[in-house]
Amino acid sequence: MRLADFGDDFTWGVATAAYQIEGSPDADGKGPSIWDTFTHRRNWRGKTPIADGTTGDEATDSYRRYAEDIALIRDLGFSAYRFSLSWPRIQPTGSSRVNRAGLDHYRRVIEECLANGIEPWVTLYHWDLPQGLQDTGGWTNRETAHRFTDYAQIVGEALGDLVEHWMLFNEPLNIVISGHLVGNFAPGKRSLPAYFASLHHVNLATVWGSHALRSATSGADIGTTQYLTPPVGGGPGPLADLAARSADAVLNRAFVEPIIGRGYPWEEAGLLRGVRAYIRDGDLDEMTADLDFLGVQYYTRLRAPFLPIPGLWTVPQFGGGGADDAPTTSLGWEIMPEGLGMVLDAMHAYDHFPRLVVTEGGASFDDRVVDGRVHDPARIAYYSSHLAEVAAARERGVPVDGYFAWSLLDNFEWALGLVPRFGLVYTDYATQARIIKDSGYWFAEQLGGSARPG
């Protein structure tokens, strides 16, 4: 399989997110986000919620080094850059006041992309809620969905003349489940009411935000992204099936179906009925987002063993879902390329989304620099096998027309800190030197980029 076989209309990009790369947490009037707060939190033992105790205070310093990053993207041969806007740079407290300097920064980033022949693909929300909104309940408060709608309008009006491709949310699953139920992500809540409330409010914000962005822009290509997984149930006979269906409802369907007017799939997971407490009259009648594409993000399949929990029947887990010897990444995530084909088929089957774009995919491995080179054959194998699935899906008639590698460069990997390395480019955090990995050269060679091992 050669990348050229995907044809000229296929979009090749790399992805990043503001908090994972920018650093400069106080620059130019930025307000604090929930990730600034969360990474600096300490428990009574002095430990932070981040595995290696690091923060995004510096990350890859890309707030200052964006031009260097964009030059790398060009040299790697990619024609699109997916990055996110930090909401508290634009609205320091999340409401009303707009910080011009924040918008100006992103205008410069966008102009730099355009000057290098790279299409900017802009995500409005990649998890860094302004702390000011968290102080009034964050996503558990319905007002936050209204504030997000205002923010969508503001950025649409300010940047819509230069940006064609937009995504509202990055992976609501992680905002809602990791942030409000499991608590390993900001804001670190662990409660069922917080889970139900944030689920509905993020879904509402997706719908309302899509309409606001549409009205503030003209000719825009608007999408939103979802973390998707083909859950595979475990357990005896029909119970395995029950576990898989319930996991599918909670992990995938509860985020996709409400925003396309299909309501919540509580018949498959009775637990989801808890969300009814937050649904107001009329909400479900008008809940259809105005989307041109769905961003599909796939890393691994989650295991969903049967557990006798009424209304849930399973608690999905990372880790090998299949045979014990299934290959995994350095994070223990099972490498299962067929899963990408499965989630693409599942989204196509809704017969709702005009197009699908793989807006993230990638793998972390224990990369090492040896004589100035990073040999990462496992990552090249990961991309080849997953791209073969995309090609096969296209053959089956699934309208998927883009692929974004996660990530341009190693960066701050949320609760796991700086240890996981997902980049096509290695980051030396001591010096902020960027070293192109073999996987980066692999793309460059096929996409016509100029980067070659020196």
Which residues belong to the active site?
171, 360
Question: What is the enclosing helix (H) or strand (E) of 247?
Answer: helix 238-248
Q: Per-residue x/- mask for ligand FCB, residues 127 to 166, rule CB under 6 A?
A: ----------------------------------------
Q: Is 414 in the site for ligand FCB (CB under 6 A)?
A: yes
Closer CB to ligand FCB, 198 or 217, in the complex: 198
Residue from 149, 170, 246, 439 binding ligand FCB (CB under 6 A): 170
Stretch that binds ligand FCB, among 167-175, 200-208, 258-266, 370-378 (CB under 6 A): 167-175
In the complex, the smallest distance separating the C-beta of residue 448 from ligand FCB, rounded to whole angstroms, is 27
Stretch that binds ligand FCB, among 41-49, 100-108, 169-177, 347-355 (CB under 6 A): 169-177
Residues 18-47 that bind ligand FCB (CB under 6 A): 20
β 221-227/11-15 pair status: unpaired
In the complex, the smallest distance separating the C-beta of residue 238 from ligand FCB, rounded to whole angstroms, is 32
At 326, list the tokens: 């299934």
Longest dimension (CA), the chain: 64
- Name the residue type at position 196: F
β 232-234/221-227 pair status: unpaired
Closer CB to ligand FCB, 315 or 416, in the complex: 416
* Of 84, 75, 64, 72, nearest in space to 23 by CA: 64
Residue from 119, 268, 376, 413 binding ligand FCB (CB under 6 A): 413
Closer CB to ligand FCB, 81 or 227, in the complex: 227
Closer CB to ligand FCB, 39 or 174, in the complex: 174
Q: Is 268 in the site for ligand FCB (CB under 6 A)?
A: no
At 249, list the tokens: 């409802």
Count of alpha carbons within 13 angstroms of residue 297, beta-carbon side:
25
In the complex, the smallest distance separating the C-beta of residue 385 from ligand FCB, rounded to whole angstroms, is 17
Q: Is 227 in the site for ligand FCB (CB under 6 A)?
A: yes
The answer to whether the bond into 49 is cis (omega within 30° of 0) is: no
* Rounded CA separation 363/335 (Å): 9
- 3-state DSSP call for residue 288? strand
* Of 287, 153, 301, nearest in space to 220 by CA: 153
Closer CB to ligand FCB, 306 or 414, in the complex: 414
Q: Is 171 in the site for ligand FCB (CB under 6 A)?
A: yes
Q: Is 410 in the site for ligand FCB (CB under 6 A)?
A: no
Residue from 6, 83, 383, 406 binding ligand FCB (CB under 6 A): 406
Residue from 313, 422, 426, 441 binding ligand FCB (CB under 6 A): 422
Count the neighbouring beta carbons within 10 Å of the beta carbon of residue 357. 29
Stretch that binds ligand FCB, among 145-153, 170-178, 306-314, 423-431 (CB under 6 A): 170-178
- 3-state DSSP call for residue 424? coil
Q: Is 334 in the site for ligand FCB (CB under 6 A)?
A: no
Closer CB to ligand FCB, 17 or 390, in the complex: 17
Strand boundaries in 142-289, DSSP class E: 165-169, 221-227, 232-234
* # chain residues binding ligand FCB, by CB under 6 A: 11
* Rounded CA separation 62/24 (Å): 9
* Of 90, 74, 109, nearest in space to 33 by CA: 90
In contact, 148 and 205? CB cutoff 8 Å: yes
Residue from 360, 367, 376, 410 binding ligand FCB (CB under 6 A): 360
Contacts of 338 (CB under 8 A, 6+ apart): 389
Which residues of this chain interact with ligand FCB, rule CB under 6 A?
17, 20, 170-171, 174, 227, 360, 406, 413-414, 422
